[in-house]
Chain A
Amino acid sequence: MTTTASRPGAKPRAAIAARTLRTDRWWVPPLGIAAILLFFIAYATVRIFMAKWYFVPEHNYLTPLYSPCVAENCVPGSSHFGTWLPALPFFIPLGIIAFPIVAGFRVTCYYYRKSGYRSLWASPQACAVKEPHTKYTGETRFPLIFMNAHRYFWYLAFAVLLINFYDAALGFKGTDGGFGIGLGTVIIWVNVLALAGYTLSCHVCRHITGGRLKHFSKHPLRYKFWTFVSKLNAKHGTYAMTSLFTVILTDAYIMAVSAGWFSDLRFIN
């Protein structure tokens, strides 16, 4: 029996039995990406429900998974934007404001759509490898039609990015309360720069800065923006994966310092 697709009335394709004739190790990239994505999902789930070790008051280090922390039961000092939510029960994460936004932003991201559909949904796992699904409607109907909401997640994620920058600026707090730089500050800034790269290189950003125009010549400034974003956009996948790791690294470092597993390495003050 052939594994090539067919439908009644259609002329037959070449009768080739193999699911794929690829001889390279095509399963390695989707397997690796699946491992990374699943690890991040598991790590983030554990961390957002942990509700502790997310803030280092000595140096104002706040993990991006809990920023902004606006509930009454946030650790004192971690609420950079006030506490206008009541104390949250254990099953609602303290990062409830931003986490759904950044999670939605990543899920609907064009890069993560590629990596997710390939590695987690096998649709398809790799090019020219037959997918296991018998029916396929793509993003034409519920629920995947909501992938088109990426634009709205981008608008919101941009606001979250600004909040992250504000948090990072507060991270220059020295041991005596004045200006200071520690390893935590450096890690936090590397993370926000990676997040900025990821957010600005987004395809939606490329579209709204100038991609939707028909005549670049009538909008020279927007064309410049578009050209800049297009350059970043070519590396969107790199920014997406780098920022995923920097978020984990930042959170893990702040957790370790906050829990007292080791102390922050101070460079200045």
Chain B
Amino acid sequence: MGSTRKFRVWRGDENGGDLQDFQVEVNEGEVVLDVIHRLQATQTPDLACRWNCKAGKCGSCSMEINGMPKLGCMTRMSTFTEDETVTITPLRTFPVIRDLVTDVSYNYEKARETPAFAPPAGVAPGDYRMQQVDVERSQEFRKCIECFLCQNTCHVVRDHEENKPEFSGPRYFIRAAELDMHPLDAKTDRKEYAQASMGMGYCNITKCCTEVCPEHIKITDNAIIPMKERVIDRKFDPLVWLGRKILRRDQLNGQGQGLDAPSGKPAGVTGHAKGVGPTSARLPEPPDLQEDGKLALTEITFDRPAAPSPFGEDVSFPMRGTSYVHPDRQRETSPEDEGTQAH
């Protein structure tokens, strides 16, 4: 059974705007994004809204619903009472483009500033071996869909625009933690970098990022606090520092491959983010080139089907000399085979 519900939607752009009232039909099982689409279809065809998967996996439809940062596609209308007015506004931490669409490029700039995975020296691609127990912690952070609700709700930048140059935000703290906990990452100064250049110290553990995460990543408990503790190991704990110097404990030194981008500047962009390249023994790998030394214009004109085969270029499929029959199937067919042979 459908019913007509009241909505207030922020309409406007960088020159200003206001909340406009609408009355929209809502049907059972619908989510807020469905209502936005019905608004576009019936009353305001020019209402701007970013969306894509409608399944809570693309992170596009981030908005603020009744003041709380949420995904439009994951907020069911059944969570509101029938007489409740639902207020929908754009993310308040980022510059507005139009209506519910904001310019989230701050996040992409911070992503670019965050040092990437550093390949270990002496291990060829394809030879990486990791134990599941070692990568479990990092895998939680890989669930991130980059909806930027955590970045939006963090009061460090939400209420203080001036902190944006120094503060990377929770999404990039989980990235820093992910790589620092990565068993094969060769960069050894991620802790110092997180403190000096990502603004880890600005976080005061108020856990709003964890509260709004639609993927239920324990951002604060599993990434930020462990990362803060790792920073303390390096920067604020003389006992650990002394122990590391005397006992030369590799676990605290990371891999010890010396792949450090310079850091230590109290704030802002340094090292990798400034474009200083890695000093690894293994250099960045170029893409596959054609025989004439040029990049293929398209995949169709490329002389190879795709990236190099992990089995080697001289192996073609299906491989000859190998056969495989499912054991169950083999049992089913074998009596018939015997019968056939008997005839």
Which residues of A pack against B, CB within 8 Å?
A: 4-7, 10-16, 18, 20-24, 110, 113-114, 117-118, 123-124, 127-131, 133, 135-140, 144-145, 148-149, 151, 203-204, 206-207, 211-219, 223, 233-234
In contact, B202 and A212 (Cβ under 8 angstroms): no
Pick from B95, B164, B204, B212: contact of A144, CB below 8 A.
B204
List 15 contacting pairs A-B, 8 Å CB cutoff, sorted by A: A14-B90, A14-B92, A110-B205, A114-B206, A127-B153, A127-B211, A128-B158, A130-B158, A136-B160, A140-B202, A144-B204, A151-B229, A207-B229, A214-B180, A217-B183
In contact, B229 and A139 (Cβ under 8 angstroms): no
CA distance A131 to B157 in the complex (A): 11
Chain B 204-233 interface 0/1 with A at a Cβ cutoff of 8 Å (1 = within): 111110011000000001000110111011
The residues of A that contact B183 with a CB separation of less than 8 Å are 214-215, 217
In contact, B159 and A124 (Cβ under 8 angstroms): yes
Please, how many residues of chain B have a CB less than 8 angstroms from a CB on the other chain? 67
Report if B64 contacts A (CB, 8 A): yes
Known: A21-B89, A215-B134. 9 other contacts (CB 8 A): A12-B96, A14-B10, A23-B84, A24-B66, A130-B158, A133-B159, A138-B201, A204-B229, A214-B182
Report if B163 contacts A (CB, 8 A): yes
Rounded to whole Å, the gap between the CB of B92 and the closest CB of chain A is: 5
Residues 97-122 of B contacting A (Cβ, < 8 Å): 102-103
The residues of B that contact A124 with a CB separation of less than 8 Å are 155, 159, 206, 208
In contact, A14 and B203 (Cβ under 8 angstroms): no
The residues of A that contact B170 with a CB separation of less than 8 Å are none
CA distance A211 to B131 in the complex (A): 16
Residues 2-33 of B contacting A (Cβ, < 8 Å): 10, 12, 14, 16-19
Report if B82 contacts A (CB, 8 A): no
The residues of B that contact A151 with a CB separation of less than 8 Å are 229, 232, 237
Rounded to whole Å, the gap between the CB of A115 and the closest CB of chain B is: 9
In contact, A128 and B14 (Cβ under 8 angstroms): no
Report if B251 contacts A (CB, 8 A): yes
Pick from A5, A12, A214: contact of B160, CB below 8 A.
A5
Rounded to whole Å, the gap between the CB of B341 and the closest CB of chain A is: 52
The residues of A that contact B64 with a CB separation of less than 8 Å are 21, 128
In contact, A136 and B202 (Cβ under 8 angstroms): yes
In contact, B251 and A214 (Cβ under 8 angstroms): yes
Rounded to whole Å, the gap between the CB of B28 and the closest CB of chain A is: 22
In contact, A21 and B67 (Cβ under 8 angstroms): yes
In contact, A11 and B10 (Cβ under 8 angstroms): no
Q: A212-B233, A212-B251 are in contact. Are A113 and B205 (CB under 8 A)?
A: yes
The residues of B that contact A213 with a CB separation of less than 8 Å are 251
Report if B161 contacts A (CB, 8 A): yes
In contact, A214 and B221 (Cβ under 8 angstroms): no
CA distance A135 to B162 in the complex (A): 9
In contact, B68 and A128 (Cβ under 8 angstroms): yes
Residues 59-97 of B contacting A (Cβ, < 8 Å): 64, 66-69, 84, 87, 89-90, 92-96
In contact, A214 and B254 (Cβ under 8 angstroms): yes
Q: A151-B232, A212-B230, A214-B183 are in contact. Are A110 and B14 (CB under 8 A)?
A: no
The residues of B that contact A110 with a CB separation of less than 8 Å are 205, 225
CA distance A213 to B131 in the complex (A): 14
The residues of A that contact B252 with a CB separation of less than 8 Å are 212
The residues of B that contact A12 with a CB separation of less than 8 Å are 14, 95-96
Q: Which 10 A-B pairs have the closest CB atoms?
A: A21-B67, A22-B67, A11-B95, A127-B208, A138-B202, A140-B201, A207-B229, A217-B131, A14-B96, A5-B161
Rounded to whole Å, the gap between the CB of B188 and the closest CB of chain A is: 10
The residues of B that contact A139 with a CB separation of less than 8 Å are 201-204
The residues of A that contact B66 with a CB separation of less than 8 Å are 21-24
In contact, A127 and B212 (Cβ under 8 angstroms): yes
In contact, A136 and B155 (Cβ under 8 angstroms): yes
CA distance A106 to B90 in the complex (A): 38
